[in-house]
Structure formats: C-alpha cells, structure tokens
Structure 1
Amino acid sequence: MQITSTNGNTSRSNNDNKILKYICSYIKYKFDNLFAHGLIFIIPLLTIISVFIILIFSIIYYYTEETDDYEDALWQTFTRILDPCAAAEDEGLKNRIISGIVILCGLVIVAVLIGAIVTFMDEKLNELRKGRTTVIEKNHTIILGWSPKIFDIINELIIANENQRNPSIVILTSKDNSEVQYM
C-alpha cells in the first residue's frame, strides 16, 4: 500500500487553468464569429476600438504632459494614431513610450482594416469568377448545359448575331465559370 500526500492548491490551480482556458476559448470563439460576418461587423468594431484607444490614451496624455487642455491631448492621440511622424517632437522617455504604444495600436488597426478589405474584395472576385451571379440582359441567347461541342455552337451564334448590337450569350451550367473558361 502506497500513501501519497497532495497539496490542496494543486487542484485549485488546475481549476483556475481550466477557467482561464475556457474564458480564452470563449473570447476567441466570439471574435471568430464576429469576423466571419465580414466587413459589416469588422469596421464598426475597429471604430469602437479606435475611439476607446483614443479616449484612454488622451487621458494618459492629459495627466502626463504639460497640457492643461484635454482637447489638445485628445488631438495629440488622434494624430499619433493616424500619423506616426507626429510623435517626432515628443520629449522625454515617458511621452515617447506612450506615443510608441499609440502608434503601434494605430498600425495594428490600419493593418486589420486593410486585411479585412482585401479579404472582402478577394471573396467577391472569387464569387464573380465562379459565375454564380444574376444576369440582367435583354435579347440574349441562353445555352442550357455544357458539352465539349459548345464552342462550335458559340461560334455559330457569334456569326448569326453579327448584325445585332451588343449580342450576349448566357450559359447556364452546374460547372463553375473558372472551370468552363479553361476548357
């Protein structure tokens, strides 16, 4: 028979770790869901974060610099988020550290915004390449289905529609547009 002694703090720290992991995974889950909705939610979120950073750091500027005007501190914070060169005139280690943090926050916000916009545009381009968009044409020719002989049909239609102004041919198929274009 073996007797072991355990400290009660071990199970408590395990519970604390589980709670911390749960909180972190919950926050990550919420952010993932938020970002999955696209630009509609990302831009307002970045705006709220920017306003929050500006307000917090303007209060810090107000109490650390020799300014008596909160509006001036607010303006300094705003300009540092948008223009990192505005911090070039800062004097003193404390002000430079605060400016550096504000500049980094601004760079992260701009980087996330640019990334979100590029991702949105990439998704739209991929959607257009698939060819699953609404067609709004008049006096057009519709081809239903797909076969290797479709190019002969299209060539015949082009010749037949030479006298038409802006002739259009619409192909309705279950294949992706990108797949059809490379055949």
Structure 2
Amino acid sequence: MPFSIVPLLLLIVPLAEIGAFIVIGREIGVFWTLAMVFFTAVLGSILLRVQGFGLVRRIQQEMEAGRVPGRELVHGVMIMIAGVLLLTPGFITDAIGFLLFVPAIRDAGWAMIKSRFTVVHAGGFGSRGFERDRKGSGPGTIDLDEADFKRDPDPDSPWNKEGPDGKDS
C-alpha cells in the first residue's frame, strides 16, 4: 500500500465509522449500538486469545518439522490486525476484523502476499541451541579441555597487570 493512501484512509475511515454509528444508532437505538460495540470488542479479545494460542502451537510444530512457518507467521500478523480492528470501536473496522479471523480469508491474503517474499532456509541451531557438538568438530580443529591448555600472558601488553619485570605496576 503506497504511503500516499495512508493519510487518506486516516481521514476516510473515521468519517465512515461516524456515519455508520449514526445510521445504526438511528435504527436500533443508542443503547444497543453501544452494546454491540462493547460486545464485538469482548468477542474480538476472546477470538484473538483462542486463535493466537492455536497459531503459536502450529508455528512450533512447523519449526519442529524443519519447515519455515511463513504461512503461519502471516496468519499471526493478520490475527493481530484483526484483534486490533475488533478492539477499535466501529462497525466497519469490526467487519474487517471478523473477516480476518476467517482462515479462508487469511489464506487468500497469504496467496496474494507469498509471491512477494523469498524464503531462505539457512539452517538452524537445532534443539541444542548454540551448544556445539564436540565430536567431529571438523578438520584442523584440536579439541582440548580447559585443563589441557594454558596461555602465558604477553609481557609487552599494556593490559598486562604485571610489568616487564614480572611485578605488579
């Protein structure tokens, strides 16, 4: 979305929401209009929580299987946007928010977005994190324990606490 559209949307969306409030408030009354806005905010927070936890579980499953969870990450962003839209008072933003909670709508969004991304799988850290496998460290590598190796300090180093004569300076 070009940035020149954003200021226009920031002007049009609130005006459209005000218009929707007026029309719906005239038809069903102010109390029921405000009750609907409150209800959609509560429902949106519940949906965000339920679908968000399910999505985190699917992302973990994809990563454990060694696959890049691109689709799940995009779905996660769309679910977060849907939650924000549902928490924002207004009927138009609520309608868009509810649509983003529908998996088929998110899949359609993913289909439009995925052609713009390049997924590069460069390997991972594995289940052991940053810990290095000491067996088979590679050619030219000598694997020693700390007790097997000692380095004498450089006597000419300015960081050496002892002077060249071996005494503290």
Tell me the TM-score range normalised by the shorter chain. Answer: under 0.3
Question: Relative to total residues, which structure has the larger strand share, 1 or 2?
Answer: 1
Question: Relative to total residues, which structure has the larger helix share, 1 or 2?
Answer: 1
TM-score, normalization: structure 1?
Answer: 0.21
TM-score, normalization: structure 2?
Answer: 0.22
